[in-house]
Structure 1
Amino acid sequence: MTDSTSMPSTVIRGIERAKTLDGTASTISGWVDAVTHPTWFKNALSGSWLGHQLHPVLTDLPIGAWGAAVALDLTGGRESEAAARRLVGLGILASAPTALSGASDWSSTRGADKRVGLVHALSNAVATTMQAGSWLARRSGHRRTGMALSAVGLSITLASAYLGGHLSFVRGIGVNRTAFQRQTRSWTDVAADSEILDGTLVRVSVHDVPVLLTRQDGQLRAISAVCTHAGGPLDEGTLDSDGCITCPWHGSRFHLEDGAVDRGPASVPQPVWEVSVEDERILLRSADAA
C-alpha cells in the first residue's frame, strides 16, 4: 500500500534541502528585520501582547473569506455575485497584516525552516495576486474568470497552509519550548550563595529542568534557562542593566522579575522560579507552587 503522505513529505524534504534558496531568504529576511526593528512593532507582530503568536490567528481571516467566496460561487448563483466579490476583497485586505506577522516570525528561523517558510510566503504571495486578479475581473463583469482565479488562488493558499502546518506541528516553530517542563513544588538546593556573583549568569538544574540563576544589585533572580521562543540558552545571553535578559539566538528580551516579554520574537513569558537562601545555600521551586 502506498503511503498517502509520501508525496507531500518528499516535496517538503526537497524544499528543506534546497540551499539555493538561502541567498534569497537571507536578503528578504534582512529587509524584514529592518522594517520590524522598532520594539513596539516587533512585539505587535510577534503577539507578545496576545500571549501566543499573532500569525496563526490572522490566517483564518483571508482563508475564511476566500473559502466563503468560492462557496458562494459554487452554490449562490448570480444573486450572490456582489457578496462573493466583497469577500474576495476582504480576504485581500486581511492578507496584508497576516503576511507581515508571518514574515516577522519567519525572519527568526534558520536553515531548513527558513527555506520552507520562504516557499510558504511566496506561495501565499502568488495566491493573493490571483485573488486580486479575481476581484478586478469580477468588478469588470468577468464573473467566470473571477471565479476561476478565486478557486485556483484558494487551492494555492491551502497548499501553502500545509507548509505552514508542517512548520508549526512537525518542526515546532512557534511552540512554547518550556510548555512541558516539570514543575517543582518543593524547595530544591541548587548552589552555594557565594557562587552566584553579581552580574553573572549561572545555569543550574532543578530535577533536570535547566534554570538561569543570576544576581543583580544584590537581588537573586531565577527563570527557566530555555527561551520560550526557540529554545535558546538564556544563560549564554546578555544581562541588561534594566533587569532584563536577552536571548543570544534571536534577541528576545525578558524581565527577570516576572518573566514577561520585553521584546519579541518571543510571545510567551519565561517561567519564573522562587528563590530562597538557607544556611548559605540557594533553594529554588516553581513560582506557582506556593
Structure 2
Amino acid sequence: MLINRFGTLFERLVRRIETAESLDATADPVAERAGRLYGGPRVRSLLAGTPLSHPLHPLLITVPIGSWAAAMVLDLVGNKSGARTAIGVGLLTAPLAAATGTHDWTSTVGGQRRVGWVHALLNVSAIGLYAASWMARRRGHHRAGQLLTIPGFALLGASGSLGGHLSYARGVGVDVTAFDPEVPGWVDVAASTEVEHGRLTGASAAGVELVLTRDADDTLHALADRCTHRGGPLHEGTLEDGCVRCPWHDSRFSLADGSVVTGPATRPQPVFETREEDGRVLVRHLATG
C-alpha cells in the first residue's frame, strides 16, 4: 500500500540522517555554543518548561504552525490582509519556539542530535520563506507571497515529521520512567548499613533501578535511579541541600517528594515508600509524584 511505502521510505531517510556522522562537524559545535548560552539553571528551567511540568517546546510550536496553516486558508478565500497578519504572528512567535527547541536539542547526542540538526535547518529555511512571503505581501506582491508559502509549508511538514520521530520514536522529551514496572509489594533491596547519610547508593527492585540515601536525621529516601529527563544515573550524581543532582544535565530533584527543583527536567522523579526490618531496607510501589 502507498501508506506503507511512504512509511518505509521515511524510516530509511531518517536512518540515513541518524547515521550521517558528517553532520557532527556542524551540529556539535552549534549545540555546544547553545548549551553555554543556556547555561544558567533558571534559564534552562524556563526554556525546558519545568514550571509547567511539561516540555514547553511542543506547546509553543503550535502557534507558528497554526498561524501559517491559517494563512493558507485565508489565501484561498481571498483575505489578503488576514493572511499577511497570520504570517506575521507566526514569524513573531517562531523565535521563541526555536529557542525552546534548541535548548532541548543541546542535551541530545548521536543520531538524535543529527536528526534534530536537520529538523532545525528545515525550520530555519521555512521561516526564511515565510519572512520573504510577508515582505512580498507588504510590498503589494501578493501572488509572489502566496507562492512562497507553498514550499515553506512543505518544509514545515518535513521538519514536523522529523520532530515527531524524535519524540515518538526516539523518546526525546518523554519521561523515561513512564514505562517502568510497578514494584509488587515490599521488596528487599539493600542492607541498612549500605545506605548512609551523604552518600548515594544504587539498588534494584523488581527490575526498577533505584537510588537510596539518608537525611541527616536518618530518614531513608528511595527514588527511581534513571533521571526522568534523559535517563541519567542519579546514583552517580551529587547530594545538595536535600536534593539529588543528575550527573548528566544537572537537573535537581527533591529527596522528599521527587519534585523538580531545577531543570531541564520537567517531570518529577518517582518516589518509593521505604521501611527497615531486621537490618534490611525494603521498598514498595511507586508513590504518585
Q: Give the TM-score of the pair, scaled to structure 2.
A: 0.94
Equivalence for 2:157: 158
Shift of 1:262: 2.0
Which residue type is aligned with residue 233 of structure 2?
A: P
Give SS of 1:268's match: coil
Letter in 1 for 2:249: H
Q: Deviation of residue 66 (structure 1)?
A: 0.2
Secondary structure at 2:50 match in 1: coil
Give me the whole-angstrom Cα distance separating, in 2, the residues matched to 1:55 and 1:137.
Answer: 29
Query: Which SS does the other structure have where 2:190 is aligned?
Result: strand
Residue 237 of structure 1 is matched in structure 2 by 237
Work out which of the residue numbers 41, 58, 61 in structure 2 matches 1:59.
61
Return the TM-score normalized by structure 1: 0.94
Separation (CA, whole Å) in 2 of partners of 1:51 and 1:198: 29
CA contact (8 A) 2:186 2:284 kept: yes
Displacement of 1:198 after TM fit?
Answer: 2.1
Q: 1:14 Cα shift?
A: 1.5
Give the corresponding residue for 1:178. 177
Letter in 2 for 1:70: M
Q: Deviations over 1:201-257 (max 9, x none)?
A: 2121221111111123233211001111111211122222x1221222222221111
- The runs of at least 4 aligned residues of structure 1 exceeding 3 Å deviation read none
Count of residue correspondences:
285
* Separation of aligned partners in 1, 2:221 and 2:25: 41
The residue matched to 1:191 in structure 2 has which SS?
A: strand
Structure 2: which 5+ residue stretches go unaligned?
A: none
Q: Give the match for residue 285 of structure 2.
A: 286
**1:121-165 C-alpha deviation (Å, 9 max, x unpaired):** 111011001111111111110000111112221111111000001
Query: Within 1, Cα distance between the matches of 2:25 and 2:62?
Result: 31
1:261 counterpart residue number? 260
Letter in 2 for 1:104: H
* Alpha-carbon separation, structure 1, partners of 2:207 and 2:9: 39
Q: Which residue of 2 aligns with 1:190?
A: 189
Q: C-alpha separation between the residues in 2 aligned to 1:100 and 1:181?
A: 31
Per-residue deviation at 1:288?
2.8
Q: Tell me, which stretches of 5 or more residues in structure 1 are unaligned?
A: none
Q: Percent identity?
A: 45
In structure 2, give the amino acid aligned to 1:98.
A
Verify the 8 A CA contact 1:178 1:228 in the aligned structure 2: yes
Equivalent residue for 1:8, pick from 4, 7, 10: 10
Residue 183 (structure 1) shift: 2.6
Structure 2 partner of 1:211: 210
Q: Summarize deviations over 1:152-211 as a string: whole Å, max 9, x none.
A: 211111110000011111111111111122233633222221121222221212211111
CA RMSD of aligned residues (A): 1.6
